[in-house]
Amino acid sequence: MTDSNFRLLGLQRLVSEHGLDVQATVLRVATDLFCQSRTHAPADIARYTDLALALLDQVDAATRNAVADKLSRLPNAPEKVLKRLLDDNDIAVSSAVLAHSPALKLENLTAFLAQCGAGEAAAVARRTDIDADTVRTLTGHASILVTEALLENHALSFDASSAALLIARAAKEPSLTKIIFGHPGFHAADFAPLYPRAPDAVRTDIRLALAERAPRVMPPVLFEAVSALNEAVTALDRERIAAALVKALRLDPAGIGRVLEDETGEVFVMALAAAGIKRPLAINLLLVLAPKSVRLSVERIFAAADIHETTSRRVAREIVSAVAGERRTGTQASFEPFMHPSGTPMRSGAARRALTKPQQATRRPDIIGKA
């Protein structure tokens, strides 16, 4: 009998003699002993498996979670115990195995993700070894919990379609912006749709990255709309300016509010620059029509003036189009005032959900080398 097997046998006897009072302690100690051993004889594995399976249904969630956390990082953790932990009703227990265990067959995770709940999917999104197909599947998940887990996982990289989907999601979920700006898997130019929420340093990176990137092919600015814009500028008519910018730059009418209401004034001044409005007129408009945060800030006014001066019209238009969205080809969308009450309001990032056990998947992920 190995030393490890002898110790496990002693722990089994302790449970038999003292009953419920020592079950949690015995399971924790037995798990520690098992994980500390570099090699495990078949008898040791069988003894630990029998002991763990007998106690897991009797101990509290905190103990089961501690066991799952230790075994999930062990390459040769007993298959039967892992399966029991994957089936646990406490999301923290099953998630530990899903997030970390090297014993899971990763090629089967896409099928599992089609059936599991948001908690399990978020756990898979925390893995550092998932493949591109699994990442794409997780990117399209409806739950913000899964998106947060992906963006907090700096080991992952995203292809163009996944990156665009995540950025579009962040544009609708304010709570995601701080997380996404910190992820190394994006190119700064990709963040253009998030420009109004970006810190100053990220805004600078976006402009520089777009300047270095090959220019997009965009339709010409409409001359008649620029003429209408000049008239609206002279009249200091905010709604007419918005309508003219929509037409001149072929923007989505529903997104013009994001341009005019940018708290730094930079997107507004870039829209004016892209439409050909000269710097003095653009700065005058900021002083009169920009949000209060801009009008009352000398620093913001000068910063916006610098943006107008140093940003090419091409880069300015690309940023404005990314922020507002582009009018779809072939549609006859009419201008909608930017304060119009229609549309779906953005959900506050403060409305975070409690992590509860979601629907149980009809099957667990497979274990490596097992049927």
Q: What is the pLDDT along the chain (371 residues), one digit of tens a residue?
A: 455 554 555 555 555 555 545 788 889 999 998 998 888 889 889 999 999 999 999 999 999 999 999 999 998 899 999 999 999 999 999 999 999 999 888 776 888 888 889 999 999 999 999 999 999 999 999 999 999 999 999 999 999 999 999 999 999 999 999 899 999 999 999 999 999 999 999 999 999 999 999 988 888 888 888 899 999 999 999 999 999 999 999 999 999 999 999 999 999 999 999 999 999 999 999 999 999 999 999 999 999 999 999 999 999 999 999 999 998 765 444 444 433 333 333 333 332 333 333 444 445 677 664 53
Question: Closest by alpha carbon to 325, among 253, 264, 265, 242?
Answer: 253
Question: What is the pLDDT, as a whole number, of residue 329?
Answer: 60
Contact assessment for residue 93 and residue 59, using Cβ atoms and an 8 Å cutoff: no
> What is the Cα–Cα distance from 319 to 221, expressed in whole angstroms?
15
User: What's residue 111's pLDDT?
Assistant: 82
Compute the residue count for the chain.
371
- Contacts of residue 133, defined as CB under 8 A and 6 or more positions apart, other chains included, come to 110
- Which pTM was predicted? 0.77
pLDDT of residue 368: 61
pLDDT of residue 39: 85
Which residues 6+ apart lie within 8 Å of 168 measured at CB?
A: 193
Residue 88: per-residue pLDDT: 93
Q: How far is the C-alpha of 314 from the C-alpha of 311, rounded, in Å? A: 8
- Residue 18 has a pLDDT of 53
- Alpha-carbon distance 238 to 87, whole Å? 59
